[in-house]
Amino acid sequence: MRKLFENWSDEARFQIPALIYLKPINEVFTPICMLPEGFDVPSKIFGNFQCKLSERMICSDNSLFCIFCKNANVNFLQKYPMDQQMLAVPKLKINFMRTNFESVAAKSAKKNDHLNENIASKVRAKSTMKRQRMEQINAILTVLWNHAIQLKVIELLLTRQEMFKMHRLDESVMNGRILSNFRTIHAYVELWAKDKNLLNGQFNSQMIILMLTKVLLLFPGETSVPFLLEKFFLIYSLWDWPKPLQLTEINYEKKGEFLLWSPAREWFQRQQEKGDREMQNEFANAFNQIRTAKDGAAFVLAKSKKEDE
């Protein structure tokens, strides 16, 4: 796949997803294609015309989509431009050599130019452009952030020599004991989490990777998958997890009011809060009137004394 990207464009920089070393091979992986600013994404990635499968081998388009379309190792290919499905980054879904990929394209940021702020239409156009630009940057940073975390995990697990081999696409690292055990344990834990309906929210694949890394760092060396699985559940069952933030202590012995809610109770509580605010406003108005009257009386007394003198 890297060779296909390199033959397509000299400006593109292809990053193999680090997740491929940490999860089973039947997962969907997300390679990253870094592009320079100003790169014509619609035409150079997706092509300029509708492809015909019967004529794909004689296609003269040099887009990335058509290059994958011509390759015999590609079993499935679908494009998702940015203007479809509210995507902030363009994406290609590919089944290449029986492995599912979702390739995303990330362009480097450019310096913002300044429009004439005295013209209202240009200011609104600039604001819209900035908002769209920030959405794209956030999506790109999310992809790169996940990739950076996974690379850091691999760096913690492997030696320098193994990291060097990995960057040279040496299969001995991919099939090595450490990463092979890691992927096997990840599959077991993810299967357990799905069976218990836990694989959602904060307990996702990224969190499982971080938790597994902690266990493998605690027990390095020649360790088996059953041993590491046992230690995983033992460690995190006894782990001192942080408690959620609470403003006051909850009295669990108190009956009748704890976690009791009804529309009538909520309406009554709102009326009380509304009444409290009205009373506070009345007190404030009365205080201002008293202070005004007091200031006026003091002014009158001072003036009368001055006239007497």
What ranges do the domains of the chain cover? 2-167, 171-237
Nearest to 185 by CA among 149, 226, 219: 226
pLDDT in tens, the chain (309 residues): 777 777 787 777 777 777 777 877 666 777 777 777 766 666 777 776 666 656 666 666 777 888 788 788 888 888 776 654 445 567 788 888 777 787 777 665 554 444 444 555 666 666 666 666 666 666 666 667 777 888 888 888 888 888 888 777 677 877 888 888 899 999 999 888 888 888 876 788 888 899 999 999 999 888 899 999 999 999 988 887 776 666 667 666 665 555 566 677 777 777 766 655 555 555 566 656 666 665 665 655 665 666 665
| Beta strand 74-80 pairing with 99-107 | unpaired
Q: Quick one: pLDDT at residue 116?
A: 46
pLDDT of residue 75: 83
pLDDT at res. 86: 45
The pLDDT of residue 85? 46
Burial per residue of 123-146, b for 16 or more beta-carbon CB atoms within 10 angstroms, e otherwise: eeebeeeeeeeeebeebbeebeeb
pLDDT of residue 115: 44
pLDDT score, position 60: 67
Could you tell me which of 77, 84, 83, 81 has the C-alpha nearest to residue 101?
77
User: Residue 229's pLDDT is what?
Assistant: 92
The pLDDT value given to residue 129:
66
pLDDT for residue 230: 92
Which ranges of the chain would DSSP assign to H, the alpha helix?
A: 2-8, 41-46, 64-70, 120-157, 160-167, 171-174, 177-195, 205-218, 225-237, 263-308
